[in-house]
C-alpha cells in the first residue's frame, strides 16, 4: 500500500502548486466543525463579494421538487448568444455535506461567456440534514426543469451537458445513470472532475495520505456516512455511489480529469476504464503532482490554468 506523509506529499507536488499549497487550511469534520466550515464558506463569499460580469445575466430560479420542496437554481445567461444555446447543468462539490453554487461563481461566468452557454447551478440539499436521496432528487428535478423550459430559456435540448466536481461529479455520474434508466432527458455530455464515486474506499489510492490539508479517507468516510449511512450495505446502489453500477453502457460521452495525488485517483481510473469497455467515448487526463480540486483551490497556477483550458476545450467540442 502506497502511503505518503505530509512531507512526501509536498515533495511530490507539482512545482506550480507548492507556494499556494502551504497556505491551505486544515480540514476537519469532527463535532461542530461541519457547521463551522459551512459558515466560513458563507462568510468568505459575503466578505469578498461575488464576482460579476455585465455581459452575463445572473438570477435565481426557484422550482418545485417532486416531493413538494423548493429548489433553488442559480442561472448564468450570457447577454449575447444564439437563441439555441447549449445548456450546462453544474453540480458543486463539498462531499455531499457542504458547498454552495456561489463559491464557483467566477467559473460559471467564464464558461457562460466563452461557450455562449446557459449555466444552471443546482443548490441541492445537503446531508446530514438531508441524506440520500435528497441531493440526487434535486439534480434530477433540475435536469427535468431545464429540459421542460428549454424553449423559454433559449436552450437547445440536444446540447445538455452535466458537469460536476468531486461529490458533484459523483452526483453527475449518478444522474446520468438515473436518467438513462428512467428514459429521462437526453444528456449530450458529462464532465466528471475528480469524481467522488465509491463509498467503499477499497482502492490503494484511498489510503494515500493523512495530510489534513487534503481530502483523506477519514474525511471521505465521514462524508459518505452523513450521506448514505442510513442505508444498509446490501441496499446501496449506483444512484448513491455510481461506482456500484454494473452496466455503464449507453451513458453520455465523458470527459474526466484528476490529480495524481488525489485519493480518488484509482476509483476514477477504474470508472473511466469501465466506461471505455462499455463503449462510451471517454477522454481522461491525470495531472502530475496535483491534489484534489487543485484548479479550484489554486486557480492561477499555470497547471490549473491548463486544466481549465483543457476543460473548456472539451466542453466546446462536445457542445459545438
Q: Which residue has the cell 458543486?
A: 92
Contact present, 168 and 93 (Cβ < 8 Å): yes
Say how many Å lie between the first and final Cα of the chain, rounded. 43
Kindly tell me the burial class for residue 22, based on how many C-beta atoms sit within 10 Å of its own C-beta (0-12, 13-18, 19 or more).
Answer: exposed
To the nearest 10 degrees (0 to 180), the angle between helices 302-319 and 105-115 is 50
Report the catalytic residues: 166, 262, 292
Residue 1: predicted pLDDT: 54
Residue 66: predicted pLDDT: 78
Q: Mention every residue, 6+ apart, whose C-beta is less than 8 A from residue 7.
A: none
Residue 41: predicted pLDDT: 67
Kindly tell me the burial class for residue 297, based on how many C-beta atoms sit within 10 Å of its own C-beta (0-12, 13-18, 19 or more).
Answer: middle
Residue 237: predicted pLDDT: 98
- Runs of H (alpha helix) within 116-164: 134-148, 150-153
Residue 50: predicted pLDDT: 80
Could you tell me the maximum CA-CA distance found in the chain, to the nearest angstrom?
A: 54
> What cell does 73 get?
437554481
Residue 223: predicted pLDDT: 94
Q: Determine the Cα–Cα distance for residues 82 and 190; give it in Å rounded to an integer.
A: 22
- pLDDT tens digit at each of 320 positions of the chain: 578 898 999 999 999 999 999 988 887 766 567 887 777 766 656 556 788 889 999 999 999 987 888 999 999 999 999 889 999 999 999 999 999 999 899 999 999 999 999 999 999 999 999 999 999 999 999 999 999 999 999 999 999 999 999 999 999 999 999 999 999 999 999 999 999 999 999 999 999 998 988 999 999 999 999 999 999 999 999 999 999 999 999 999 999 999 999 999 999 999 999 999 999 999 999 999 999 999 999 999 999 999 999 999 999 999 98
Amino acid at each position: 500500500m502506497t502511503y505518503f506523509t505530509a512531507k512526501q506529499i509536498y515533495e511530490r507536488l507539482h512545482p506550480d502548486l507548492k507556494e499556494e499549497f502551504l497556505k491551505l487550511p486544515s480540514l476537519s469534520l469532527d463535532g461542530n466543525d461541519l457547521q463551522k466550515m459551512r459558515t466560513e464558506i458563507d462568510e468568505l463569499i459575503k466578505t469578498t463579494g461575488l464576482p460579476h460580469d455585465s455581459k452575463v445575466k445572473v438570477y435565481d430560479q426557484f422550482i418545485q421538487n417532486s416531493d413538494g420542496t423548493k429548489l433553488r437554481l442559480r442561472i448564468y445567461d450570457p447577454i449575447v448568444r444564439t437563441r439555441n444555446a447549449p445548456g450546462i447543468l453544474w453540480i458543486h462539490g463539498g462531499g455531499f455535506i457542504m458547498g454552495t453554487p456561489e463559491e464557483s461563481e467566477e467559473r460559471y461566468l467564464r464558461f457562460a461567456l466563452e461557450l455562449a452557454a446557459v449555466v444552471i447551478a443546482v443548490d441541492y440539499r445537503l446531508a446530514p440534514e438531508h441524506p440520500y436521496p435528497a441531493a440526487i432528487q434535486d439534480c434530477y428535478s433540475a435536469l427535468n426543469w431545464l429540459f421542460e423550459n428549454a424553449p423559454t430559456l433559449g436552450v437547445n435540448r440536444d446540447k445538455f451537458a452535466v458537469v460536476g466536481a468531486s461529490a458533484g461529479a459523483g452526483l453527475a455520474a449518478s444522474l446520468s445513470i438515473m436518467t438513462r434508466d428512467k428514459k429521462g432527458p437526453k444528456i449530450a455530455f458529462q464532465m466528471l472532475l475528480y469524481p467522488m464515486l465509491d463509498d467503499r474506499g477499497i482502492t490503494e489510492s484511498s489510503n494515500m495520505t493523512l495530510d489534513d490539508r487534503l481530502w483523506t479517507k477519514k474525511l471521505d468516510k465521514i462524508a459518505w456516512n452523513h450521506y448514505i449511512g442510513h442505508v444498509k450495505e446490501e441496499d446501496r446502489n449506483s444512484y448513491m455511489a455510481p461506482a456500484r453500477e454494473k452496466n455503464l453502457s449507453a451513458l453520455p460521452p465523458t470527459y474526466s480529469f484528476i490529480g495524481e495525488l488525489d485519493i480518488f485517483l484509482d476509483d476514477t481510473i477504474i470508472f473511466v476504464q469501465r466506461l471505455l469497455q462499455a463503449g462510451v467515448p471517454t477522454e481522461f487526463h491525470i495531472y502530475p503532482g496535483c491534489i484534489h480540486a487543485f484548479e479550484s483551490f489554486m486557480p492561477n497556477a499555470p497547471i490549473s490554468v491548463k486544466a481549465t483550458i483543457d476543460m473548456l476545450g472539451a466542453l466546446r467540442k462536445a457542445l459545438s
